[in-house]
Structure 1
Amino acid sequence: MLWVLLGWKFTLANLLLGIIMIIYAYALTKIWFPGHLEESAKHHAEEAQKSEGMDMEHGMEGSLRDKLLSLKGWQNIAHAFFMEWKMVWKEILLGFTIAGFIAVFVPQSFWSAIFLVSEGGAEASPGFFTVVENALVAPVVAFFTFIGSMGNVPLAAMLWSREASFGGVVSFLGADLVAATVIWVHAKYYGWAYALYLSALLYVCMVAAGITVHYLFALVGMIPTERPSLQEMVRFGIDYTFFLNLAFLAVAAALLWLHFRGGGGEAPVDAHDSRHQARA
């Protein structure tokens, strides 16, 4: 989708952004990572799984091939799939709903107003302060407009068409990691202390990586110059993405069927246990 809407240069920039963010995150956590947060997050995740009924046996004997070719292996996958969605579906639904309203009812002029543009306009090379401001603001915008990694791409295309800098758009593409819904899910799994630390770390990394990618591309003269309108870029068609969506909907339906067919993830009670419970 990114290639179709914004071209191969943005696609390459997005891949490079991820690599640079990993390097920056590794360096920052080496410098400062509170040890108590790790233990607290692990404990919170274990408690969250138990409270949601996710404390079930996932282990299986045998090789990976045996697990993939066995009914029990796929039932375990189906149970985990169902439990993960059960835990976060409310947050995801709320995030998509709010983001949809924002994307439809907030005018495009608002987005162009909060992103600085060079005095010479879109054709001029943005100054350093403009690049930094755009990269700082982009993740904040993504926090309120999260529609998903795929849904963020049309919004990134809109920002590019409204004269945001290359570095700002690239930062926006990586900012789904600090969207409100994602932070909420992290807090539910790992606790607020770890979620806020992780989000702050990722924010710093994506801003720095966006600026880095901008100037790496500027160094070799690869920053795109064409800014087509969003109407020219966005379209609906019966293409490969449509059929991929259908395929994955079918996979999801099959996993749900396996989950409920296998007892909804509940472990079977053998005769010995049932007699013991009856005596109790």
Structure 2
Amino acid sequence: MLGPILEALRTAGTMAWQILWSLILGFLLASVVQALVRRSTVVKLLGDDRPSTLLKSAGLGAASSSCSYAAVALARSLFRRGASFTAAMVFEIASTNLVVELGIILALLLGWQFTLAEFVGGPIIIVLVALMFRIVLRDKLIRDAQAQTSKGLAGSMEGHAAMDMSVDGEGSVWARLFSARGLTSVSQIFVMEWAAVIRDIAVGLLIAGAVAAWVPVDFWRRLFLHGHGTLTLLWGPIVGPLISIASFVCSIGNVPLAAVLWNGGISFGGVVSFLFADLLILPILAIYKKYYGWAMTARIVGVFYVAMVAGGYLVEVIFHLLHLIPSAGHAFTGASGISWNYTTYLNIVFVIIAAGLILRFVRSGGAGMLKMMGGAPATDDDAPAHHHH
């Protein structure tokens, strides 16, 4: 019994080592952007669901936290403060699926084609969601959701979503960023982002390690109807989100499992649909119900699922026509172990950078902020600039 457990842990550890530097780099870049963009600016730009507004919403979401729980909480906060419901949902989708750290990790574990697929599929899914919301959302439903939202029921990562640690003031972007306040802000956002997603990343790696070590490839091939031509391509995007929902893992944490599924024979479009379904995992569905009520939650789930399946199909077709679908079974799942290569050098460099940011975070009194991450949701009257520099 000990042997299989050690094998699962070894696989998880090797995958963690492979993506460590990219996680640090991704969160560092995201922290820089968040340090320069104020949350109050975001709310002002998202008052309707016109295409130009949704484009801004997607861009601002991509520059926000990649933690699914924080993204869901922040979307609720934006909706309460006057953003349109559709714009808030688009922000939420972009925040968890169009972020730089996700793209880097996809390239490392699955290949650059999956990074491209994520950034092609994201806009497709956003357009589909916006179009379907125009059909299924009625004024009464939105008013009921607003009434439910105004109750202020807590979900998860509420305190994190309410914090705005951006740097304002005079001077150029570079001057603000490299000022003492700017560097402190980046360090605080960096540590908070890690604290928000570390649980999901760890759980995702452990699940992926266990699945890779314990579940025979034949099981996945049967589940994904591997080798059945068109039927395989049709089934992948349908079953992909269902596996994601059942995995309880969100945000970047589902990428290691996606690598295992790809090696197991799921279709290219199925991987894309699986990755986007992190906003439909069961704990987040419970939060939607708290935030918006059953009626709106049912529409969110239905619209998101249909958009993810359709998006998976469209990405599959586009990439097939462009001959961009890679050979199956070549994703990195830790079988090769850890060796002294470029990954090791990059990990050393970025761990030193992370240590410097953590040290600045601690010296600036940031430790107390960690205790507030799961705090109460902001009220309508709260300024969106908590802990503002």
TM-score, scaled to structure 1: 0.66
In structure 1, how many angstroms separate the alpha carbons of the residues matched to 2:185 and 2:258?
33
* One-letter amino acid of the counterpart of residue 71, structure 1: A
Moved more, 240-249 or 102-111: 240-249
Shift of 1:10: 5.0
Q: Deviations over 1:214-266 (max 9, x none)?
A: 23345x37375854566899645544444444444333322221111012266
Greater Rg, structure 1 or structure 2?
A: 1
Farther off after superposition, 227-236 or 164-173: 227-236
- 1:35 is aligned, of 113, 121, 142, to 142
* Aligned equivalent of 2:244, options 139, 142, 166: 142
Unaligned runs of 5+ in 2: 1-104, 370-389
Q: Which residue of the partner structure matches residue 313 of structure 2? A: 211
The yes-or-no answer on 1:66 pairing with 2:153 is: no
2:323 to 219, 222, 243: 222
Give the distance between the partners of 2:362 and 2:117, measured in 1 at CA. 43
Q: Structure 2 CA distance, aligned partners of 1:101 and 1:232?
A: 11
Amino acid at match of 1:80: I
Percent pairwise identity: 29
Aligned with 1:151: secondary structure? helix
- TM (norm. structure 2) is 0.50
Whole-angstrom distance in 2 between the partners of 1:100 and 1:89: 16
How is 1:1-280 mapped onto 2 (pairs within 5 angstroms)?
10=114, 12-33=116-137, 34-36=141-143, 37=145, 40=149, 49-50=158-159, 58-63=166-171, 64-87=173-196, 89-117=198-226, 121=227, 126-127=229-230, 129-145=231-247, 146=249, 148=253, 150-159=255-264, 162=265, 164-179=266-281, 183=284, 187=287, 191=291, 198=300, 200-218=302-320, 220=321, 222=323, 224=325, 226-228=327-329, 235=336, 238-264=340-366
1:138 shift after superposition = 1.2
| 1:12–1:156 CA distance, 2 compared to 1 (3 A) | farther
Deviations 1:68-104 (CA, angstroms, capped at 9, x unpaired): 1211222123223334444554455445434433343
Contact in 1 for aligned 2:187/2:357 (Cα 8 Å): yes
Paired AA for residue 16 in structure 1: V
Distance 1:42 1:250 in 2: 44
* Deviation (angstroms), 1:35: 3.0
Given that residues 156 and 173 in structure 1 are in contact (C-alpha distance below 8 angstroms), is that contact kept between their aligned partners in structure 2?
no
- Relative distance call for 1:41 and 1:107 in structure 2 (3 A) is farther
The amino acid that maps onto 1:82 is V
User: Does structure 1 retain, via aligned residues, the 8 Å contact 2:167–2:181?
Assistant: no
Residues 180 and 58 (structure 1 numbering): CA distance in 2 closer, same or farther, change over 3 Å?
same
Say whether the 8 Å CA contact 2:236–2:269 is kept in structure 1: yes
**Cα deviation digits, residues 27-71 of structure 1 (max 9, x gap):** 223334553546828956799545x79657655322333321211
Alpha-carbon RMSD across the aligned residues, in angstroms, is: 4.4
